[in-house]
Amino acid sequence: MAELVASDLRRRIIGGDLENGAELPREAELLEEFSVSRPSLREALRILETEGLIRIRRGKVGGAIVSRPTAQSAAYHMGLTLQSKGVTLRDLAQARGVLEPACAGFAASQDARARKKIVKRLTELIDENEAHLGESYAFTESALEFHAALVELSGNTTVAVLAGALEAVWSSQERHWAERASHTGGYPDPKAQSEALRAHRRVVRAIAEGDAEAAVQSMQTHLAKSQPYVSDHDQVLDVLKPEPTARTGGWL
C-alpha cells in the first residue's frame, strides 16, 4: 500500500499537479483519501523523502513540502553514483567536453528568433563576467553563469538536464581545487581570464551566425585549453566533502 500511495503522489509531483514548495495535504486528509493505515502513509512519505521529492518539516507547523527534481538535485545523485565508481576529474572533464559543446551546437541550430534571445542573454553574461577580470571568485562565479545559461538555453531538454547535472558536479569539484590553489598561487592571471572571455564570445558569435559546427568546435577548444589549469586530474571526485568556505572559485 505504501508503494501505491507513493506512486500516486510521485505522479502528481512530477506531473506538476503539486507545485514546487507546496505543502502536501495534512496527514488526516491523506489517510481519508487513500484509505490506508497511518504506518503505510508514513512509509510512503519516507519513500518520497528518500527520492528527494519531498522534505519533511518538523515541529508544530510540520508537514511534507514538495521538492521537484532539479539539475542540482540530479547532480548530487549523479555525483554519488560517479564517486561510487571511482570516476576521476579527467574522466569527468572528458564527459563535459562532449556534452557542453553539444549544447552549443544545439543552440546554434535553433531558428533566428530563438538564437537572437540566446545571444542577447549570453552576451549580457559575458559583459558582466568581464567586469570581474582579476577577481578570482567573482570572475569564476560569473563564468559559471555563462556555462549554465548556455546549457539551459540549448533547446534540447534532455541534453540540457544531463549537461546541467554534469556541470554542477564539475563546478563543485573546481571550487575545491581553486580553494587549494588560492593558498599556493597558480590561479590563472587576468590574461588567461581574458582568453576565456574571448573564447566565450567566439561561441556566441557562432551561435548568432547559426553555425553549429563552429559553435561545437569553439567550445571544445575552449574546454580543452582550460584543462591545464585544473590540478589533480587523476583524483577521484568527492561530492561528500562540504563546500569551500573561502570565497574562491575555479577556472572555467
Beta strands 63-66; 54-57: pairing state: antiparallel
Q: Which CATH class is domain 2-66?
A: mainly alpha
- What per-residue confidence (pLDDT) applies to 106? 97
Amino acid at 31: L
pTM of the model: 0.75
Taking alpha carbons only, the member of 11, 47, 252 closest to residue 137 is 252
Integer CA distances (angstroms), 144 to 25, 98, 140, 250, in order: 38, 17, 6, 9
Asked which of 46-50, 69-73, 108-112, 119-123 is least confident by mean pLDDT, the reply is 69-73
In whole angstroms, what is the distance from residue 251 CA to residue 100 CA? 16
Q: Among 163, 181, 203, which residue's Cα sits nearest to residue 249?
A: 181
Q: Residue 59's pLDDT is what?
A: 66
Residues 17-38 have a mean pLDDT of 91
Domain extents in the chain = 2-66, 71-229
Say yes or no to pLDDT of 77 above 70: yes
**pLDDT at position 182:** 58
User: What is the average pLDDT across 4-13?
Assistant: 93
| SS3 assignment, position 184 | helix
DSSP secondary-structure letter at 59? S
Whether the pLDDT of residue 185 is over 80: the answer is no
Which range scores top for mean pLDDT: 3-12, 170-179, 231-240? 3-12
Q: How far is CA 71 from CA 91, 120, 128, 134, 167, in A?
A: 20, 23, 24, 30, 9
* Whole-number pLDDT of residue 75: 83
Nearest to 135 by CA among 187, 175, 176: 187
Confidence of residue 176 (pLDDT cuts 50, 70, 90): low
DSSP for 146-159, written as a single string: HHHHHHHTSS-HHH
Strand partners, 63: 57
What is residue 181's predicted lDDT score, i.e. its pLDDT?
55
Fold adopted by 71-229? Four Helix Bundle (Hemerythrin (Met), subunit A) (1.20.120)
**219 pLDDT more than 60:** yes
> Percentage of the chain surpassing pLDDT 70?
86
133-151 pLDDT, tens per residue? 887 777 878 888 999 999 9
